[in-house]
Structure 1
Amino acid sequence: MELVENTLPADLDTVLDRPLFCFFATASPDGYPRISPLWYLWEDECIWIIADTIEKSYTTRVERTPETAAAIVDFDPTSGRVYHVGMRGRSTIEPLDDARATRLLRRYLGPNREEWDDRFASLDPERWGLIRFEPESVVARDQSFSPSL
Structure 2
Amino acid sequence: MPTAFDPVQVLSRPLMANLATVTASGEPRNAPVWFAWEEAVLWMLSDVSSSSAARVAANPHVAVEIVDYDNTAGLLRHLGMRGRATVEPMDPALFRRLLRRYLGAEETQNPWFIQNIARVEDPDGRLIRLVPDSVFTNDVSYFRTGPELASLPRESTPPEDNS
The question of 1:35 aligning with 2:33 is answered no
Conservation of the 8 A alpha-carbon contact between 2:96 and 2:120: no
The two structures have a TM-score, normalised by structure 2, of: 0.79
Aligned residues: 139
For 1:74-132, what per-residue CA distance to the aligned partner results, in whole angstroms no more than 9, with x for missing partners?
Answer: 00010110100011101001111111111111111111256232322x32442101110
2:84 is the alignment partner of 1:90: yes
Distance in 1, Cα, partners of 2:3 & 2:136: 6
Q: C-alpha distance in 2, partners of 1:86/1:65?
A: 19
SS at match of 1:135: coil
Equivalence for 2:74: 80
Unaligned runs of 5+ in 2: 146-163
In structure 2, the partner of 1:100 is 94
Q: Which structure has greater helix proportion?
A: 2
Does the 8 A contact of 1:23 with 1:38 survive in 2? yes
1: CA distance between counterparts of 2:107 and 2:24? 38
Aligned ranges 1:114-125 → 2 under 5 Å: 115-116=109-110, 117-118=113-114, 119-120=117-118, 122-125=119-122
**Matching residue of 1:141:** 138
The sequence identity of aligned pairs, in percent, is: 40
- How big is the alpha-carbon RMSD for the aligned residues of Structure 1 and Structure 2? 1.7
Question: Unpaired segments of 5 or more residues in structure 1?
Answer: none
Higher strand share: 1
Aligned partner of 1:112 in structure 2 is 106
Larger Rg: 2
